[in-house]
Structure formats: structure tokens, C-alpha cells
Structure 1
Amino acid sequence: MHVQEGYESSYPDATETVLNYVFKNKLGVETKDHSVLIGRSLPHVQQNQEKLVELLFEKFQIHRALLPLNNVLSLFASGKLTGLVMELGAGTSYCVPIYEGFPLKGFIMSSDVTGNKLTEFFMNLLSKHSCAAVTQDPVLAETIKEAVCCVAPNLFTALSDPPESVYTLPDGTELRIGREKHQCPEAMFSPNLIPCITKSIPAVISDCIKKLHTIRGEKYTTSLVQNIMLSGGGSKFTNICERVKVELDKCVDAPYASNSKVCNPVAEIHSSWVGGSLLCCHSNYNEVSISAEEYHEHGVNVIGLKSLF
């Protein structure tokens, strides 16, 4: 059973309610008869991870559990084991270097430019249209953002005379969107537009590469730079891979600038699901996952013993 978790709640009651709904209402299974894989989007929240493991084994009495990072699962979906995966999620954006299937957790870099903040920025940009249906409805604004926004290969050219995109609102009203469709994703490259005091997406990837070079050396780092993957909802913007490549090459030194390759997951936003399914079917799943026996012997400390992903 593969469940994807987009946000690890700080409140066990809320997490329990969601899991109970998934297991009982949607899947209709007895959890004690199954193993569970939950993809994680927040790599640094150890306390939440411990609560989740406790809940799975104590409340739902599952057979086995594995809690890998979504970045790792997205890479697995592509059939590769080594690369840099930049997750552009709704609530988190972070870069994880992965070598031979295992994340190098000491090199994880993050940015506060997230999908939710881009949606808020987009709502502000559209406020001049005096369209309350959009400026007061984040879900609708996100839908429009995903439908019309795209990364400009050259921002100045795109803003000078952008062709309008027409989006028909639920009430039949036509919303004409011009510069805003380029200005919104541009915040990933210039966070001050939001405004947000954080590093841009290319700068985060660059910092990760520079730290790898300093500590692990050129040969090791090059193998990762040759497979830079953008995952999550933000990776769906048209032209984003090409633009990240251009901006990244400005930040890193040779030979990384010439060797860098930026791509999207094969399965796009479903890549972590595909990667999770592959991992669950792998022959060593029982070796890397946490069994009920191991949990009852070590408690939540078992995470430190078997938290490989």
C-alpha cells in the first residue's frame, strides 16, 4: 500500500483522521495485514516522523512501514539512482542530492519559494482585474495559475508585448491574462518579487553543488550534476527546465556549467507515486523498511536505525 503525504501535520489527531479515512473509507482494508509506504515532503521534522511511525504501528498495527523522501521516489521513477532532485512543492521547495539510491541528508538545501506563495503572488497580480472570484479563492487561482502561467525564456522580451491568455471562469466570465502569466513563475528566479527573503531555485541548486564539490570532490559531484531533476507541481511550468539550466550555469563554475542537465520526471507530478510503487516491489523492501517487531523492540528510535531514505 503506497500513500503519499503532502504535509506532515503537527497534530496527531488530524493525521490519524486522514489515515483512518484513507484506510477505512477509500481503501477498505485491514491495516494489520499490510505494509505502508508514505512519501515525505518535509525532511527535517524528526518529531512528526516519530509521531507518524508511532501512529502507524500503535493505532493501525501495520505490518511494515517505510517513509522515504518524495525526491528519492521521483528519481526512482525515472529509472535512475543518482542525481539532484529539486522538489517544487506546494508547501516546501528543497534540493536533495541522491547517490546510488540514498539521499545525502547533510547536503539538503531549501527555498521559501513554494507553490502556495506563488499562488498568493498570482492572486495579488490579478487583483487589478477586480475579479473577486479569483482574488478571494486560492483554489481557483491555483487552477488558473497551472493552466496559463509559464516561465519566460527571456523575461524582458516576454513582458514587452505578451500575448494574452483567456481563461473562462466558472460563471462564464472571460479573464484575460497578459504579463501576469510570466510574472508569477518569475518569482522562482527573483524571490524579491513576492516579496520573500530567500534564495532562488537556481541558487539553491547551486549552493548544493558547491557544497558537494567542497566536501566530496569534482568526480563525485559531476555524476549528480548530470542528472538534475525538477519534481513537484512547480515543475509543470512550461520552459522551467531550460530557464533553470540557463540561470544555474551562471552560478556554478566549469566543468559543472557545461555538464549540467536539467529535466522533469517521466511521470511528472505522479513521479513519487510511480517511484513508491517500484520501491515497494523491490526485492530489498523488507530489508530497508521497519517491521512491527523492530518497532516494538526499539520504539520510535528505530527511525534512526533504518531511516535510509
Structure 2
Amino acid sequence: MDLSTLLLDLSDGMLIQPTLDSRKSVVIDLGTRHTKAGFAGEQAPCAVFPTAEAQWHSQQVQEGYESTYPDATETVLNYVFKNKLGIDSKDHSVLLGRSLPYVQQNQEKLVELLFEKFQVHSALLPLNNVLSLYSSGHLTGLVMELGAGTSYCVPICDGFPIKGFIMSSEVTGNKLTEFFMNLLSNRDHSFTPITTDPVLAETLKETVCSVAPNLFTALSDSPEVVYTLPDGTELRIGRERYQCPEALFSPNLIPCVTRSIPTVISDCIKKLDTFRGKSCTTSLVSNIFLSGGGSKLTNIRERVKAEVDKCLDEFYASRSKVSLCPSGYSSWLGGSVLCCHSNYNEVAISAEEYHEHGVNITSLKNFF
């Protein structure tokens, strides 16, 4: 599949001019914390909601309801189609962006669910990292996804992930949020609404936390900020707002035995240099992108670049460029672009292909 024309055109409120078929494509980014859903060709999802909301709604509508799907994906998709988009899934194609471990472990079950339960026209399950890169207007780059439940670094060349070079860290958004709550608890804060509402806790973290260029300097001069909770309670937060994101660079603070985010990126680059050579690696180093909720933290881009450069030799450090994906909905936006590509039907799994090969089609047709 040639993706050379996969470029963003934001004129006239559209990404690229969608075809008649692509207008029927539904784009869903099913995240650990939030789900985004909408239609191909649009610049933003028309529905953004806490993923847990779908399960809550199902329990209210049908007492004792239990999804037949292990992680309640069926519940969320049903909620998206019926309640958020108000459509019949039988009339649409679906692009469902998911994190790497989910796709690897549940790909066959998810394809079966889409075609058997929801009877979609076609389906595609690309990696969120790949979609985030598309949203930036690039086809080659290295995308570090800082998600709520996953932190994965994926090198991508000419629009496709380079398999065998993907690396991860166990420092995730969820662990940072938990760490932040523990730091606040140590100051004897009373914040019951936060401990019972993970979405509120995450919002607080993303609003007040900031990555320090130098932690020791920040801690010695860290004026408090005031955050007002929905119930009117005021929280005064000081050095905790710098201590929390520092775990991205020093996982032992959580504590967690894993690689830091800069180490994951630099190790990926070093492995690429060893096995793919400087020509390939240089193009990736000059296009390092941060995506996911963790990329919203203030000053994270500058700090990640500084730490990554420390781990690289002079050749790559002088050529490295770290950027943030241009949208808070970068993976959804990339899916919207991909659905409008003229060759989209070549990579998507059609209903006819599924009924001919069954779930084995995922091994026969797996580009992303």
C-alpha cells in the first residue's frame, strides 16, 4: 500500500476530501480512560467520554448486565454506536485504534466481535502510535505513546511500524496519577472526591503538574498553586506537581523497576542503528513524537529531548528533534485521515474476507 499521499489538508474544515465510502467510516479511539468517536474526514471526534461511562450506562439500562467480552469492549462499542453516534453499525466501516498490547492479545476476538456482533462492512485495527504520526503529517518517525495504561515507543517507516524494534516502559499515566495521589496524601490533604473519581484525579494531574528542567531547582523554589475541586474544596499544591512527572525520568520514585521514558527512546534508536544503519535511523531521530495524555504535561518535550540526547552519541544528539503530536486527539485524527485515503479498502478487512477466512484473516492481512 502506497501511503505517499497521506498528507493533511486542513482547508475548508476537512482533512482531505473524503470519498463517498469513507463518509460512512466510523473512527474510534478506545482508550483506557477516555474514548473518542466520530466520522472519517472530520478534524475532531464528535463524542469524547470517559470509557467507564459506557459500563455505567449499561448497568443503569439493564440491571445485572454483563458484557460477553472480557474487557467490556462490546459494551463500549455498543454505547458508541447507539448512544453517542446514533447509528446502525451494519451500515458502516470501523477503524478502531488501540494500544499495542491490546491488539496483540485480543485482535482475533475483536475482529470476531466487529463482524459477528456488530456486522460492520469492514474493519481495521491500527496501532495508536501509527495513527498519531499520521496526524502530524509524517509517514516516518518514532512515536512514544504516553498513555494511561501503556507507554510504548514505536519506530515507523513509510507509514508502517518496524516490527521487532518496539520498546516499552511500565511508567504509565495511571501509575503517575496514583503516585500523585500518594504525594498529596502525605501532605494530609483531604480530597475524597479525587480518590473516588479517577478521571478527576487525572485531570488534576494534567492541569497542575509540570516537568521540571531541573528537579532540585524546582523543588527549592516551587510556589503553591490552588486547584478548586467541583465541590468547592481548594487544594494547595506545591512541590508535588514537580515530583510526580519526575517519575517519567526516574521510575524508582514510584517505585517501579523499568526503563525511563528517555531510556526507552534512546535504546530504540541504538537498536535501530545497530540493525538498520544510519540512513534509516537518522530519519527517525529527526522525527520523534510524543503522544497520549502524558504528552500534555508542561515542558515535557524539552526535558525528554535533553535526557535522550545525553544517552546518544554526538552524531544522533545533534540531529534529534522531539515534537508533540499536534492534537489532543492525535490518534483519532490520524484514523480520520487514514479512512479517507484512496487505498484504505486495500488494508481494511472486508466482511467478505472475514466470512471466507474467519479470524485467520488477521494473520493474512495485518499491515499495522
TM > 0.5 fold call: yes
Cα drift, residue 297 of structure 1 = 1.2
Residue in 1 that maps onto 2:219: 159
Provide the rounded CA distance (Å) in 1 between the counterparts of 2:277 and 2:170: 28
Provide the rounded CA distance (Å) in 2 between the counterparts of 1:86 and 1:199: 13
Residue in 2 that maps onto 1:78: 136
1:202 aligns with 2:202: no
Provide the rounded CA distance (Å) in 2 between the counterparts of 1:307 and 1:29: 27
Residue in 1 that maps onto 2:316: 256
Residue in 2 that maps onto 1:231: 291
1:270 aligns with 2:329: yes
1:12 aligns with 2:72: no
Query: What amino acid does structure 2 have at the position aligned with 1:102?
Result: F
| Local SS of the residue matching 1:217 | helix
Query: What amino acid does structure 2 have at the position aligned with 1:250?
Result: K
Could you list the per-position Cα deviations for residues 286-308 of structure 1 after superposition, in whole angstroms to 9, with x for gaps in the alignment? 00111111111111111112211
Residue in 2 that maps onto 1:48: 106
The answer to whether the 8 Å contact 1:83/1:98 transfers is: yes
Provide the rounded CA distance (Å) in 2 between the counterparts of 1:47 and 1:235: 26
Cα drift, residue 24 of structure 1 = 1.8
Q: How high is the TM-score relative to the length of structure 2?
A: 0.81
Provide the rounded CA distance (Å) in 2 between the counterparts of 1:62 and 1:171: 43
The answer to whether the 8 Å contact 2:91/2:121 transfers is: yes
Q: How high is the TM-score relative to the length of structure 1?
A: 0.95
Cα drift, residue 133 of structure 1 = 2.2
The answer to whether the 8 Å contact 1:235/1:264 transfers is: yes
Provide the rounded CA distance (Å) in 1 between the counterparts of 2:167 and 2:239: 31
- The Cα RMSD (Å) is 1.8
Provide the rounded CA distance (Å) in 1 between the counterparts of 2:200 and 2:115: 38
The answer to whether the 8 Å contact 1:43/1:69 transfers is: no
Query: What amino acid does structure 2 have at the position aligned with 1:187?
Result: A
Residue in 2 that maps onto 1:241: 301
Query: What amino acid does structure 2 have at the position aligned with 1:173?
Result: T
Superposed structure 1 runs of 4+ greater than 4 Å apart? 7-11
Provide the rounded CA distance (Å) in 2 between the counterparts of 1:290 and 1:135: 42
Residue in 2 that maps onto 1:222: 282
Aligned residues between the structures: 308
1:297 aligns with 2:347: no
Cα drift, residue 32 of structure 1 = 1.8
Change (3 A) 1:11 1:126: farther
Cα drift, residue 43 of structure 1 = 3.9
Residue in 2 that maps onto 1:2: 27
Most deviating of 298-307 and 36-45: 36-45
Could you list the per-position Cα deviations for residues 73-105 of structure 1 after superposition, in whole angstroms to 9, with x for gaps in the alignment? 111011100000000000000000000000112
Cα drift, residue 4 of structure 1 = 1.1
Residue in 1 that maps onto 2:145: 87
1:139-158 equivalences in 2 (<5 Å): 139-158=199-218
Cα drift, residue 30 of structure 1 = 2.0
Cα drift, residue 263 of structure 1 = 0.6
Cα drift, residue 141 of structure 1 = 2.2
The answer to whether the 8 Å contact 2:29/2:97 transfers is: yes
| Local SS of the residue matching 2:248 | coil
Query: What amino acid does structure 1 have at the position aligned with 2:359?
Result: V
| Local SS of the residue matching 1:255 | helix
Gapped runs of 5+ residues in structure 2? 1-25, 36-50, 52-66
Provide the rounded CA distance (Å) in 2 between the counterparts of 1:162 and 1:245: 23
Change (3 A) 1:245 1:47: closer
Provide the rounded CA distance (Å) in 2 between the counterparts of 1:140 and 1:298: 44
Residue in 2 that maps onto 1:108: 166
Provide the rounded CA distance (Å) in 1 between the counterparts of 2:152 and 2:192: 32
The answer to whether the 8 Å contact 1:123/1:134 transfers is: no
Query: What amino acid does structure 2 have at the position aligned with 1:141?
Result: A
Residue in 2 that maps onto 1:281: 340
Q: 1:24 aligns with which of 78, 82, 94?
A: 82
* Percent identity over paired residues: 75
Query: What amino acid does structure 2 have at the position aligned with 1:274?
Result: L
Provide the rounded CA distance (Å) in 2 between the counterparts of 1:273 and 1:45: 16
Query: What amino acid does structure 2 have at the position aligned with 1:198?
Result: T
Provide the rounded CA distance (Å) in 2 between the counterparts of 1:24 and 1:172: 35
Change (3 A) 1:217 1:195: same
Provide the rounded CA distance (Å) in 2 between the counterparts of 1:250 and 1:50: 41
Query: What amino acid does structure 2 have at the position aligned with 1:106?
Result: G
Residue in 2 that maps onto 1:68: 126
Structure richer in helix, relative to its length = 1
Most deviating of 45-54 and 133-142: 133-142
Query: What amino acid does structure 2 have at the position aligned with 1:71?
Result: N
Provide the rounded CA distance (Å) in 1 between the counterparts of 2:104 and 2:211: 35
Could you list the per-position Cα deviations for residues 91-140 of structure 1 after superposition, in whole angstroms to 9, with x for gaps in the alignment? 00000000000011211100000000000000000012331426623333
